[in-house]
């Protein structure tokens, strides 16, 4: 017999046995981990290594393509192990306890999901997995459970789909730190609502802080043929809303301020949160450091935002941190902006679409976990 399977408690021992029996020229065809039987407390985890003598490979191996495929898989697994080895001990323990999770865990980490969240997801997914499942099906099944775990952590809301049935326009204000893309997102959204959803849209700028802020919004509004007015005090805002009462949707652009500037945030809050029924939407750029996003989300929570908008996903390679932020914020995502082009670069994601965005970047081409197209449009 040319091919032989060697069983041992570890790979090194199996290789030693192969060398002893087949000689040091023997070629390894495959390796497999056989988990210990849960029903037998005395059973041990074993490894199976399949080996063959060199001159006999072509007769025994079904095809060269199969061998190449198996080598590719092994290399991919080694790469995954190496990438996980760069993380803390917690990750390595996780892999030891859930050997089948190597590839999926590496995908989550490569996508930018934090170590604690990635291990929590794998842990929960493994816990609900059927123990009696065949080893071959384990990886596929684990992927399915991991996707479910991720989906339970995200929520989307097509907030701006509502048409005006109530007789009064829905008024939505966009708040957030400086330069995150509030004005640009409003321009994109106004175009989408006007031209795709056939809604009557009005724009109001209450940004009296930055020079040229109103002109920026007005320029977009003029191109679209949409009404746009400034409002720099409560009376102005009241008049502006009165003028726009026949609209379906009124979008309010606010001034960007540092999340540390409580006074400025309070000024905006006083202006928009009093007699007016205005929903707020928090705009955050994914290019900001995670700690800044976290602090900003906390500071802007005084506005009690109904949804969050993530911008500039085109500027980063890995969007996994969005999953971490959604776990903290517990807000539905209404929009995702993926570029500077107005109106094209705006996505209204559904849950699977958002998950593809979150996990899509950084994952391997053929990996099921997050194989979505980065710039897929969901409008
Ligand atoms: N790459 C990229 N750039 C974007 C995106 N959204 C907005 N920008 C750019 O970000 C810059 C700031 O955009 P604004 O819309 O002015 O940001 P803002 O939040 O209104 O800024 P302030 O009003 O000053 O707080 C502009 O150069 C936009 O073109 C996006 O999704 N991707
Ligand atoms: Mg602005």
Instruction: Read off the pLDDT of residues 198-245 as tens digits, 9 standing for 90 and up.
Output: 999 999 999 988 888 899 999 999 999 999 999 989 999 999 999 999
CA gap 218, 227 in Å, rounded: 8
CB atoms within 10 A of CB 223: 12
Choose between 306 and 73: higher pLDDT.
306
CA gap 162, 50 in Å, rounded: 61
pTM: 0.77
| 67-76, 88-97, 124-133, 256-265: least confidently modelled range | 88-97
CA 340 / ligand 1 centre spacing (Å): 7
Pocket flag, ligand 1, residue 120 (CB < 6 Å): no
Q: What sections of the chain are H helices per DSSP?
A: 11-22, 57-60, 64-85, 89-97, 102-111, 115-127, 135-152, 182-191, 213-224, 234-243, 262-272, 290-299, 321-329, 351-360
CA 311 / ligand 1 centre spacing (Å): 8
pLDDT number for residue 358: 95
> Taking each helix axis from N to C terminus, what angle separates 262-272 and 234-243, rounded to the nearest 10 degrees?
40
338: Cβ–Cβ under 8 A, 6 or more apart, which residues?
312, 313, 314, 345, 346, 347, 374, 375
Pocket flag, ligand 1, residue 115 (CB < 6 Å): no
CA 228 / ligand 1 centre spacing (Å): 19
Choose between 363 and 304: higher pLDDT.
304
Distance of CA 286 to the CA centre of its chain: 11
Q: Looking at residues 146-157, what average pLDDT do you find? A: 95
Phi-psi region of 80 (alpha: psi -120 to 50; beta: other; left: phi over 0): alpha
Tokens, residue 76: 């991919």
- Among all ligands shown, which has an atom nearest to the Cα of 205? 2
Pocket flag, ligand 1, residue 182 (CB < 6 Å): yes
CB 262 within 8 A of CB 270: no
Q: What are phi and psi of 360, to 5 degrees?
A: -60, -40
Query: pLDDT of 114-132, one tens digit each?
Result: 989 998 998 888 888 777 7
Task: Check pLDDT > 60 for residue 376.
Answer: no
The domain locations on the chain are 3-61, 84-152, 159-360
Pocket flag, ligand 1, residue 339 (CB < 6 Å): yes
Atom of ligand 1 nearest to the CA of 283: 19
Q: Looking at residues 274-281, what average pLDDT do you find? A: 86
CA gap 109, 117 in Å, rounded: 9
- Superfamily of structural domain 159-360: P-loop containing nucleotide triphosphate hydrolases (3.40.50.300)
Cα R_g (the chain), whole angstroms: 28
CA gap 227, 179 in Å, rounded: 23
DSSP one-letter string for 45-89: -EEEEEEE-GGGHHHHSS-HHHHHHHHHHHHHHHHHHHHHHTS-H
Q: In a 3-state reduction of DSSP, which class is residue 178?
A: coil
CB 219 within 8 A of CB 158: no
CB 310 within 8 A of CB 337: yes
pLDDT over 70 percentage in the chain: 85
Q: Given CA atoms 51, 57, 61, 66 in this order, what sign does their dihedral have?
A: positive
CB 295 within 8 A of CB 269: no
Pocket flag, ligand 1, residue 338 (CB < 6 Å): yes
């Amino acid at each position: 017999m040319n091919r032989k399977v060697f069983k041992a408690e570890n790979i090194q021992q199996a290789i030693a046995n192969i060398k002893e029996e087949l000689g040091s020229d023997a070629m390894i065809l495959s390796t497999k981990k056989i988990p210990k039987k849960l029903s037998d407390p005395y059973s041990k985890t074993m490894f199976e290594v399949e080996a063959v003598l060199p001159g006999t490979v072509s007769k025994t191996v079904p095809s060269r393509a199969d061998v190449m495929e198996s080598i590719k898989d092994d290399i991919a697994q080694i790469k995954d192990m190496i990438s996980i080895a760069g993380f803390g001990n917690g990750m390595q323990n996780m892999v030891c306890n859930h050997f089948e999770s190597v590839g999926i865990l590496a995908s989550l980490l490569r996508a930018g999901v934090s170590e604690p969240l990635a291990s929590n997801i794998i842990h929960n997914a493994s816990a609900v997995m059927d123990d009696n499942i065949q080893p071959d099906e384990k990886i596929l099944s684990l992927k399915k459970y991991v996707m479910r775990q991720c989906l339970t952590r995200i929520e989307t809301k097509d907030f701006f789909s509502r048409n005006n049935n109530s007789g009064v326009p829905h008024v939505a204000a966009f708040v957030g730190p400086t330069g995150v893309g509030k004005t640009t997102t409003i321009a994109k959204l106004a175009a989408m609502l006007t031209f795709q959803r056939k809604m009557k849209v009005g724009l109001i700028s209450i940004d009296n802080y930055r020079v040229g802020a109103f002109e920026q919004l007005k320029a977009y509004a003029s191109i679209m043929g949409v009404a746009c007015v400034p409002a720099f005090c409560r009376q102005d805002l009241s008049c502006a809303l009165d003028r726009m009462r026949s609209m379906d949707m009124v979008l309010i652009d606010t001034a960007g301020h540092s999340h540390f500037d409580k006074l400025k945030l309070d000024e905006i809050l006083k202006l928009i949160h009093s007699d007016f029924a205005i929903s707020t939407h928090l705009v955050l750029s994914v290019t900001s450091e995670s700690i800044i996003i976290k602090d900003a989300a906390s500071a802007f929570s005084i506005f009690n935002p109904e949804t969050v908008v993530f911008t500039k996903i085109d500027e980063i390679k890995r969007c996994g941190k969005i999953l971490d932020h959604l776990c903290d914020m517990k807000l539905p995502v209404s929009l995702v902006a993926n570029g500077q082009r107005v109106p094209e670069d705006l996505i209204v994601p559904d849950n699977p679409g958002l998950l593809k965005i979150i996990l899509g970047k950084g994952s391997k081409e053929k990996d099921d976990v997050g194989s979505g197209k980065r710039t897929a449009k969901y409008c």
